Amino acid sequence: MKQRRRTYYSERQRALMWERWRAGESLKHIAQLFDRNHSSVARILAQTGGIQPPPRRRSKRSLTLAECEQISRGLAAEDSIQSIARRLSRAPSTICREIKRNSGDKGYRADSADGLAWQRALRPKACKLVATPALAKIVAAKLQLEWSPQQVAGWLKRTRPDSEGFHVSHETIYRTLFIQARGALKKELLEHPAAHPCHASLTSSHAEDRGSRSYPRRRFDQRTSCYG
């Protein structure tokens, strides 16, 4: 039996799902509109707990699709970044970053640039060290050699100047070290608790805080089934 590929619904299709769902239609009937199984629609509705999310809006500071098309036409005409920026009443640095993050002068396309902008705006975002395990291993190895986060961040930029995927700020490394919920460096630090001086000082300070605090004990009352 041939397995169907996963369907990625457009914003208009998702809006139609929510409209039919609010009207009281069943998942089976809604799925028939798209020639899919009811579980495909259920997945979309369950992502936000059955509550329709507010429509996404573009920030006023973001480049619009029309501006992206102006940039694309300007690059095709070999206009300078400064002239494109003047035409759009934007800063040249804004135009330069837009072109650089979307395949450069030769590969810039307005439609793909606009689509990628919407994807980058999705929240919440995964921590870079969580999304890139290979980068997390490199950072953990350097921390075990007692490098500081600033040294690790600088070393990555010097040794991999053309690999932006392996560039990470020292602030990100600090947050990943101290916010255990991220989990990217947790395993390495548990195996080597003294891997880095700042981690050791943090651990000792937490231990002192736990020892100095006194929390009142709460008694559980079985008759009322609550704590008092």
Same domain, 84 and 103: yes
pLDDT tens for each residue of 209-221: 444 444 344 443 4
180 and 132 within one domain:
yes
Q: Is 97 a member of any domain?
A: yes
Does residue 224 carry a pLDDT above 80?
A: no
Distance separating alpha carbons of residues 32 and 98, to the nearest angstrom? 41
Q: Specify whether 26 is located in the same domain as 81.
A: no
Least confident of 45-54, 56-65, 186-195: 186-195
Q: Is residue 18 part of a domain?
A: yes
pLDDT computed for residue 180 by the predictor: 56
- Please list, in sequence order, all residues whose beta carbon lies within 8 angstroms of the beta carbon of residue 16, skipping any fewer than 6 positions away: 33
| 171-207: pLDDT as tens digits | 988 888 876 555 667 655 555 554 444 444 444 444 4
Tell whether 202 and 132 lie within a shared domain: yes
Q: Residue 76 is encoded by which pair of tokens?
A: 């095709």
The number of distinct structural domains making up the chain is 3
The answer to whether residue 204 is domain-embedded is: yes
Residue 136 tokens, joined: 């997390």
Confidence band of 49 (pLDDT split at 50, 70, 90): confident
Q: What is the pLDDT of residue 228?
A: 41
In a domain, 55, yes or no: no
Q: Residue 145 carries which side chain, given as an amino acid letter?
A: L
Co-location of 148 and 112 in the same domain: no
Q: Are residues 80 and 112 in the same domain?
A: yes
Q: Give the pLDDT score at 89.
A: 95
- Which structure tokens are listed for 207? 């231990």
Q: What is the pLDDT of residues 69-108, one digit of tens each?
A: 999 999 999 999 999 999 999 999 999 999 999 999 999 9
The pLDDT confidence band at residue 223, using thresholds 50, 70 and 90, is very low
Distance (Å, whole) CA 224 – CA 202: 41
Owning domain of residue 33: 11-46
CA angle 125, 130, 134 (to 5 degrees): 135
Both 87 and 155 in one domain: the answer is no
Residues 194 and 169 occupy one common structural domain: yes
Q: Which percentage of the chain shows pLDDT scores above 90?
A: 42
Residues 89 and 162 occupy one common structural domain: no
Residue 219 Cα to chain centre, angstroms: 43
Q: Worst-scoring range by mean pLDDT, 26-35, 73-82, 161-170, 194-203?
A: 194-203
134 touches 113 (CB < 8 A): no
Task: Give the pLDDT band of residue 153 (cuts 50, 70, 90).
Answer: very high
Q: Count the Cβ atoms, other than its own, within 10 Å of residue 176.
A: 25
- CA-to-CA dists, residue 121 to 67, 130, 154, angstroms: 18, 18, 27
Instruction: Please tell me whether residues 147 and 92 are part of one structural domain.
Output: no
Residues 6+ apart with CB under 8 A from 136: 129, 130, 176, 184, 185
> Rounded to whole angstroms, how far apart are CA atoms 217 and 222?
16
Give yes or no: residues 17 and 83 share one domain. Answer: no
Place of tokens 């009811």: 38
